[in-house]
Structure formats: structure tokens, C-alpha cells
Amino acid sequence: MSHAIGIDIGGTGIKGALVDLDSGELASDRVKRSTPENGEPAGIIETVREIVHELEAELDGADAAHLGVCFPAIVLEGRTMSAANVSDAWIGLDADSAFGEALGRDIHFVNDADAAGFAEARFGAARDVRGLVIMTTLGTGIGSALIHRGTLIPNSELGHLEIDGADAESRAANSAREREELSFAEWAERLQRFYSHVEFLFSPSLFVVGGGISKSHEEFLPLLDLRAPIVPAELRNNAGIIGAAALAAD
């Protein structure tokens, strides 16, 4: 059995676990810490170091775990090119090197939606799908991941497609539903516009929908009329951890 460590950095919390790379299941309890105030790189890196140290102690010398870290930003060759709900000091930061130096090891740094999509394609709702899989996370914004035959196409940012003169996520994210107090039927009309446009552009074989609201998928997914099937994510809050770990091992 081989393991890797996955770390999922968010605006309010940082969580990590050992991942069984054969099954995609967590091989330890999740370790969680609050994201340091202001989300500065130094504080987040130190928090991740503490979590990794705690998880490595559970390996007890069994094997040397790979380490993957996912983060809410565009990640280009290990460098964070944007920042969401964290300090602007992340913009342009060579995160691969900064984490690697602090932890004394190589890491793989990846966008959080990309990590979640990769996990669903390998271990979750999209496993064994041969064509293009598009995962979207409906939350404060709309994150996205494109996976074709097991290969991740990174940094798709489909939530920023311009639809009807506005970023799609400004009208169709779950935050818009909550902010405007939309019924699920009213929200589904906006989701239909978004997903129809994405389907026209990319012709996917499957849509997978994640984010906390996916727990209520019966309320809105059946209202959508698409050629491709659209299904809820299976791995829930562990998808980022699992995907980051699996990508690091790859």
C-alpha cells in the first residue's frame, strides 16, 4: 500500500490527511487548522508544516509520502498567479519553492478545483469515463476542472466565462442564489444558461457538480436539460486532499 499526503488550503481552514493511493480513501484522520489571519504566505506555510509533521508521524517509517498541496488560485508551473480570500502577497509567488524550502522536500502545488476534479475522475463520480469530464464547484464562485482520459487540463476558470455581459459566477454561483434569495427553480434557470454554454464550447461526456450545495443536488440538477449527464460529486470535502495527493504521486 502506498500513501501520499494531501493538503487543502482554504480561506478559513487548512486540512490535510494521508491518502491511500490505491483506493483513494483517507488513510488517517483529517488534521485541520484555522487559516492564519490575513492569509499571509509565511503563516500558511508554517501551518502546513505543522500539519505535515503530524501526518508524517503516523507513517512510522512505512514509506516516504509524496506531498500535494491545493490552493484557491491559478497555479502556473508552481507559481500562484491569483489569490482568493488570502493575502495579495500570493500573487506571483513561487509557491513550489517557498513550501519546498520550508518543508525540506519536493511538493506539488495545484489549483483546488483542479485537485477536486482529478480526484473525482480517478476515484469518484467520473471514474472510468473515457471522454472529457468537466467538474464545477458551486460556492462563493464557480471553480472548474477539465480532465480528458485521466489527464488534467489545468486552470480552466470557467466561472469567469462572460455570459449575458457578466462573469458567469456573479449570477450563477451558489453565493448569488443566497444573496438574491433565489428559489432552486430560479437558480436552475441561471445554471442552465451556464452549463448549456459550457456544453456548446467543450462537448463533455460528463459534468460533475461539487461544492457544499451539491448535498442538495436533488433540488436543482434534475431541472437542468443537457445532452451530457450531470451528476453530484462523490468525494465531498475530501476531494481536494485526495486530488492533491494523487497528483503529487503522479
The backbone torsions φ and ψ at residue 159, rounded to the nearest 5 degrees and listed phi first, read -65, -15
Domains in the chain with CATH codes: 3-114+238-249 (3.30.420.40), 128-233 (3.30.420.40)
pLDDT in tens, 54-72: 998 887 655 557 999 999 8
pLDDT in tens, 116-168: 999 999 999 999 998 999 999 999 899 999 999 989 999 999 999 999 999 99
Query: Cβ distance 173 to 94 under 8 Å?
Result: no
Alpha-carbon span 106 to 59, nearest angstrom: 18
Beta bridge partners of 10: none
pTM comes to 0.92
C-alpha distances (whole Å) from 166 to each of 111, 171, 172 are: 23, 8, 10
User: Hey, CA dihedral for 119, 16, 114, 183, is it positive or negative?
Assistant: positive
User: Hey, CA dihedral for 119, 124, 127, 132, is it positive or negative?
Assistant: negative
pLDDT of residue 39: 87
